[in-house]
Amino acid sequence: MRRYLTPLLFLSPATLLILLFFFTPVVATILLSFTDLSTTTFKNPSWVGLRNYQDLLADPFLKKIFFNTVKYVALTLTFNVGMGLLLALLTSLVPQRIGDPARALWLLPRILPPVVYVFIWQGILAEAPMGLVSDILGVSKNWLVAAPWTVVILANGFVGASFGMLIFTSAIRAISRELFYAAAVDGATTWQTIRRVVLPMLAWPILFVTAYQTLSLLTSFEYILLLTDGGPGFYTTEVWSLRAYHLALSNYFGNVEFGLGAAMAAVLVVIGVVVSLFYLKIFNFKALVSEPKIEIN
């Protein structure tokens, strides 16, 4: 027992936080999802078992929302990881005095408050004479309404890309110089160096960024909420988490369904866990954390 005491002591703060901020909400959400809690039943909710889940299955809009979510996560993720990688490589290839300010610039969308950031997007995309895009292209359109998916993905992507960029840059910096010298001595081109030296060393950060971003995209909806609120039109950009939010907390006429919203959120938790396991499997997590076969110092 004694030998576990110190590790347990060190683990306890993190464990406590996870219990408090992850485990408890999950349990609460799952419990809520078995009730009919809504505006009208708030004072006397009743236990309805799986009815909310049956309701979800009967929802004629659910299929559309599910595929919207897949589309949103897949496209934004591709942009985030791809752009992050590209930015990291480009800013690492150029001298540091140019690379560093370029990276700092890409951090701007992330440090702006979302409301301000979205406000700028809306301004840029408005109809002429206010909108920049309409002015430049000479076609006066509300571009946010004309191409909602492109905007949603780019607006999210510009924020998300900087995350990958930072992680990948630090990973590239951590690659031992000797490997680059060795590649140069062997006559490798820049592309070959990237392909054969840099990218293999980035496998773990790429797994981390992909997994992390998938999960955060699955649950994030604030930029969509502010940009399109799931519209324009018929659930055009409504994703799973936004729908859960709309059901549980937002209704023009003031009648919200907490129980049903919680059921949607609970499904999202399950999807999140499944996706994480899938990532760990395809990226061969065990091999990544095993003892290195060679030691480079």
Candidates 77-85, 105-113, 131-139, 245-253: pick the segment binding other proteins (CB under 8 A).
245-253
Candidates 35-43, 75-83, 105-113, 182-190: pick the segment binding other proteins (CB under 8 A).
35-43
Q: Is 41 in the site for other proteins (CB under 8 A)?
A: yes
Q: Is 46 in the site for other proteins (CB under 8 A)?
A: no
Task: Among 24, 176, 251, 284, indicate the residue that binds other proteins (CB under 8 A).
Answer: 251
Candidates 37-45, 110-118, 159-167, 272-280: pick the segment binding other proteins (CB under 8 A).
37-45
Pair 258, 37: CB distance under 8 Å: yes
Task: Among 42, 67, 119, 181, indicate the residue that binds other proteins (CB under 8 A).
Answer: 42
CB of 156 to other proteins, least distance (A): 19
Q: Is 7 in the site for other proteins (CB under 8 A)?
A: no
Q: Is 25 in the site for other proteins (CB under 8 A)?
A: no
**Which distant-in-sequence residues (6+ apart) come within 8 Å of 205 by Cβ?**
167, 168, 171
Residues that contact other proteins, how many (by CB under 8 A) = 31
Sketch the per residue contact string, 141 through 160, with other proteins: x for CB under 8 A, - otherwise.
-x-xxx--------------
| Nearest residue (CB) to other proteins, 69 versus 210 | 69
Q: Is 253 in the site for other proteins (CB under 8 A)?
A: yes
Positions that interact with other proteins (CB under 8 A): 39-43, 55, 58-61, 127, 142, 144-146, 228-229, 231-236, 249-256
